[in-house]
């Protein structure tokens, strides 16, 4: 079963909507970080549709240079 990138984005949006309702700053920060991870999962999923894009997406997300497949 594959989760579509739109579902990851929906979950990210839910985290961002919930974050301001938290009284605890740690909970707010955690939801913001979770939203970022959901968004990254969406990016990875979309990149996996075109294997040539994966090294660039990984480099963008991690900040590390990844060699392209030859």
Residue with tokens 């040539």: 52
Token pair, residue 17, equals 């909507």
Give the pLDDT confidence score for residue 48 in this predicted structure: 75
Give the pLDDT confidence score for residue 46 in this predicted structure: 82
Contact of 18 with 31, CB cutoff 8 Å: yes
Q: Say how far apart CA 69 and CA 47 lie, in whole Å.
A: 14
The whole-model pTM stands at 0.67
Contact of 35 with 16, CB cutoff 8 Å: yes
What is the chain's Cα-based Rg? 15
* Sequential pLDDT tens for the chain (70 residues): 578 899 999 999 999 999 999 999 999 999 999 999 999 999 988 877 766 666 777 777 777 776 766 5
Give the pLDDT confidence score for residue 54 in this predicted structure: 66
Give the pLDDT confidence score for residue 39 in this predicted structure: 96
């Amino acid at each position: 079963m594959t989760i579509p990138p739109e579902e990851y984005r929906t979950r990210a949006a839910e985290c961002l909507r919930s974050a301001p309702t938290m009284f605890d700053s740690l909970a707010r920060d955690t939801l913001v970080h979770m939203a970022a991870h959901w968004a990254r999962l969406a990016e990875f999923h979309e990149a996996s549709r075109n294997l040539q894009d994966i090294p660039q997406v990984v480099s963008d997300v991690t900040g590390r240079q990844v060699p392209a497949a030859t």
